[in-house]
Amino acid sequence: MSTDPWGRPSSDDLRRIQETFDRDVGPNVRAAERLDLAVPAEIRTQRGNTIEAITREISRTGIGLLHRGAINMEEVYVKMASETREFYYRVQIEWCMPCDNGMFLSGGRFLPVQDQKA
């Protein structure tokens, strides 16, 4: 576990949290298939705060995140980066719940991209 109380959770943190809850609680009633994906991400809130996170899963319609500190149910921007590019997504956070060690699980649905008109 990271010593920074606001730092990005590690892959080990994610694995430990996933082991504490039962992933097979019933049939998957979601319209889109979810894929496990654990990559670093940043959440930028409406107030301009940046929260370090790690993704948990992703689908065509939404994303699951692990982070320290609660976030509001609001529109946020999620940034994920590869070695060559950065990806930005508009996400409506639908839920956020506490889990172990001051961390929170959250999930949101992707919003359409807005035109960038200056």
At 86, which CATH number? 2.40.10.220
* Number of structural domains in the chain: 1
More reliable by pLDDT, 73 or 118: 73
Domain around 60:
11-21+35-110
Q: What is the 3-state secondary structure (H, E, C) of the chain?
A: CCCCCCCCCCHHHHHHHHHHCCCCCCCCCCCCCCEECCCEEEEECCCCCEEEEEEEEECCCEEEEEEECCCCCCEEEEEEECCCCEEEEEEEEEEEEECHHHEEEEEEEECCCCCCCC
- Is residue 29 assigned to a domain? no
- At 118, is the pLDDT very low, low, confident or very high (cuts 50, 70, 90)? very low
pLDDT in tens, 65-92: 999 999 999 999 999 987 889 999 999 9
pLDDT at 93 over 90: yes
pLDDT at 16 over 80: no
More reliable by pLDDT, 3 or 89: 89
